């Protein structure tokens, strides 16, 4: 059985959240994959091929946990969570799912509450391969998962994210509400949201991160490994997570993985697409900037909250816009560039007397539901944490050691 090792992930340097190799028929893509022609050969069509399989997934403490996972058949590499499906609104998506395991599986992408599902594969028998074509729905953040024997198949690892980008406009949505449209219009054009000197005004569609939250109770994974069909009521009643992950990683790994870490300069707003595939309710909390909740479960918000933590229940999809304004509570004269404050007033955190400044400026994101900050029953802070970093000032000058 293949292993998914975190160290191997780290070697991929930022490619940890694997974007599925998609074959694309010409036109309009924000990805720069050359790709093959799509089966239809049509512009505006993308195709993905996934196989449902098993793997041993390394946790933060080195424990290998048997999991059910997707692999992108082009790479043959199992990943947890599944590969990201990315498309543009209205594109034709051709998706093939092969069931490489011993029991029935499925694949579902729900939409907004009360709306029809984006796609539902129904039952896929062991060894069966099913292809479905569907149109990429309204732009936003979607969760895909295996809905069979719910929540068992999903929680054992069969879940991933689908991102749909809009055809036009300056927001992440096809039909933004007036409040969300106003927020995005204000970015880079108002005193509250000044523009970075070297960047275009407003949010850029590639400036997003996916945080797919999930949790692992290895006792259930061990049952699956031994061939037991897990009773869903047993999992719901007795689920006791030992690992809490973002994009399959936690603690030191999620804090230093740049596909998880929010990274940018003052005046470069970033969208965070947060999904919860697990059974535990999180309340992710950001230091340094409040964020704007722009969409919940594929409904664009009429009333945009500006807050510092927000609950995400199992199966929820929530978008945050992080404005990347200068942290309002930071010490020092607000008219002095931060790079001048860094050596003098900001956190001489390393080395004390020798005065190595904290640079770039790094703040935490952590979940306010306390047990999720641990791993393996108490190892703190090796749970759902990551970094929020500022690489440079509004005037286009980067901080020392800003790197990327
Ligand atoms: Cu805090």
Give the containing element (helix H, strand E) for 142.
Answer: strand 140-145
Q: Find the 280 Cα to ligand 1 centroid distance in Å.
A: 19
DSSP three-state, residue 356: strand
Beta-carbon contacts of residue 154 (< 8 Å; ≥ 6 apart): 145, 146, 147, 277
Strand partners, 66: 56
pLDDT at 354: 57
pLDDT per residue over 49-101, tens digit each?
A: 999 999 999 999 999 999 999 999 999 999 999 999 999 999 999 999 999 99
Q: Find the 58 Cα to ligand 1 centroid distance in Å.
A: 27
Q: Find the 363 Cα to ligand 1 centroid distance in Å.
A: 9
Task: Quickly list DSSP for 165-200.
Answer: E-SSSSSSSSS--HHHHHHHHHTTTSSSSPPPTTS-
DSSP three-state, residue 7: helix
Q: Which residue has the higher pLDDT, 402 or 304?
A: 304
Q: Find the 29 Cα to ligand 1 centroid distance in Å.
A: 38
Taking the complete model, does pTM exceed 0.85, yes or no? yes
Tokens of 83: 């590969």
Q: Find the 364 Cα to ligand 1 centroid distance in Å.
A: 7
**Are β-strands 108-109 and 119-120 bridged in parallel, bridged antiparallel, or unpaired?**
antiparallel
Q: Is the pLDDT of residue 34 over 50?
A: no
Question: Average pLDDT, stretch 162-179?
Answer: 98
Q: Find the 365 Cα to ligand 1 centroid distance in Å.
A: 7
Q: Find the 96 Cα to ligand 1 centroid distance in Å.
A: 42
Domains of the chain, CATH where assigned: 3-169 (2.60.40.420), 178-212+225-390 (2.60.40.420)
Q: Find the 199 Cα to ligand 1 centroid distance in Å.
A: 30
Angle at 1 between CA 276 and CA 245, to 5 degrees: 20
Q: Are 391 and 402 in contact (CB under 8 A)?
A: yes
pLDDT at 349: 54
């Amino acid at each position: 059985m293949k292993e998914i090792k975190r160290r191997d992930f780290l070697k991929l340097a930022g490619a940890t959240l694997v974007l599925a190799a998609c074959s694309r028929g010409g036109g309009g893509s924000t990805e720069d994959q050359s790709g093959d022609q799509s089966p239809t050969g049509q512009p505006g069509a993308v195709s993905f091929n996934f196989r449902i399989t098993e793997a041993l997934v390394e946790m933060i403490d080195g424990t290998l946990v048997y999991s059910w996972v997707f692999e992108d058949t082009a790479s043959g590499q199992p990943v947890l969570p599944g590969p990201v499906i990315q498309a543009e609104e209205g594109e034709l998506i051709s998706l093939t799912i092969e069931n490489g395991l011993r029991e029935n599986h499925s694949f579902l992408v729900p939409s907004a509450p009360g709306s029809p599902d984006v796609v539902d594969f129904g039952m896929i028998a062991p060894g069966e391969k099913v292809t479905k074509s569907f149109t990429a729905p309204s732009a936003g953040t979607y969760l895909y998962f295996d809905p069979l024997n719910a929540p068992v198949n999903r929680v054992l690892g069969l879940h991933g994210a689908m991102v749909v980008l809009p055809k036009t406009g300056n927001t992440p949505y096809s039909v933004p509400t007036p409040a969300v449209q106003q927020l995005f219009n204000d970015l880079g054009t108002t005193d509250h949201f000044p523009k970075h000197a070297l960047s275009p005004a407003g949010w850029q569609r590639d400036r997003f991160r996916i945080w797919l939250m999930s949790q692992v109770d290895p006792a259930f994974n061990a049952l699956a490994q031994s061939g037991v069909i897990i009773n869903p009521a047993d999992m719901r009643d007795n689920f006791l997570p030992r690992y809490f992950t973002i994009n399959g990683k936690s603690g030191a790994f999620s804090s230093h993985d740049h596909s998880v870490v929010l990274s940018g300069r003052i005046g470069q707003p970033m969208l965070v697409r947060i999904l919860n595939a697990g059974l535990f309710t999180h309340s992710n909390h950001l230091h340094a900037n409040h964020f704007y909740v722009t969409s919940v479960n594929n409904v664009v918000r009429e009333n945009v909250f500006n807050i510092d933590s927000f609950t995400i229940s199992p199966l929820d999809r929530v978008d945050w816009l992080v404005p990347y304004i200068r942290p309002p509570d930071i010490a020092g004269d607000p008219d002095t560039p931060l790079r001048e404050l860094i050596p003098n007033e900001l956190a001489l955190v390393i080395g004390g007397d020798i005065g190595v400044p904290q640079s770039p400026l790094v703040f935490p994101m952590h979940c306010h539901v306390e047990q999720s900050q641990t791993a393996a029953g108490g190892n703190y802070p090796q749970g759902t944490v990551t970094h929020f970093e500022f690489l440079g000032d509004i005037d286009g000058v980067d901080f020392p050691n800003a790197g990327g």
